[in-house]
Amino acid sequence: MLAYPAGWRRIRGDRGTASAALLDAHGRYLAYLNLTPRQGREQLATFAAFRVAHNRAEGDADVVAQASAHGLGFRDGGRGTCVRDAYTTATSLRFVEVACLVSGPRTSSVIVAAAPPGQWAKQWPVLRRALAAVGT
C-alpha cells in the first residue's frame, strides 16, 4: 500500500505497482511516488549501484548517484538501502529521486520518491514521510 498526501492523485503505472503524483495546473510533475514489489535481482548490499544501472537501462541520461545509505530502519521491522540520484528522462525532464529497497518479514519492495530539481527542497519533507510510511 502506498501512502500519499491529500491533494495528490493516483496515476497509472506498471502492472502490480502503485503510483501517485502531485501535478501543477498544466499537468507537469511537481512530485512523484511509486511502490513496486521487488522484481528479482535487487539486493540490499548492492541496491545503490543496481538502481543507477537500472535507470540508465531504462533510457535515462546523465544519471548521477549523489548519496546512499544502508541498514536503514523502516516500519514493521523492515531494513532498507536507499540511493539519492539525479537523471534526465527520455523526454528531457530532469528529476532528483530517492529510491529505497525495503526488505522485511513479509515482503520486499522498491519505493521511489522523485521531484524536479527546482521542486526538490519544497517536496522533500512530504516525500520523506511517504518513504518512512513503507511497511514490509
28-52 tens-digit pLDDT: 999 999 999 988 789 999 999 999 9
Q: Taking 80 as the threshold, does the pLDDT of residue 113 lie above it?
A: yes
Domain regions of the chain by residue span = 10-132
**Phi first, then psi: what are they for 87, rounded to 5°?**
-160, 165
Backbone phi and psi for residue 129, each to the nearest 5 degrees, phi listed first = -65, -40
Q: Are 63 and 96 in contact (CB under 8 A)?
A: no
Buried (b) or exposed (e) across 73-97, using 16+ Cβ within 10 A?
A: ebeeebbbbbbbbbbeeeeeeebbb
pLDDT at position 136 is: 56
pLDDT at 105: 80
Domain 10-132 is found in CATH 2.30.31.10 = no
The pLDDT of residue 1 is: 73
Q: What is the mean pLDDT of the chain?
A: 93
| Lowest-confidence segment of 2-16, 21-35, 87-101, 111-125 by average pLDDT | 2-16
pLDDT of 26 higher than 90? yes
**If DSSP codes are grouped into helix, strand and coil, which group holds residue 78?**
coil
Structure pTM?
0.93
The helix (run of H) or strand (run of E) holding residue 41 is: none
CB burial of residue 43 (10 Å; 0-12, 13-18, 19+):
middle
- Share above pLDDT 90 across residues of the chain, in percent, rounded to a whole number: 76
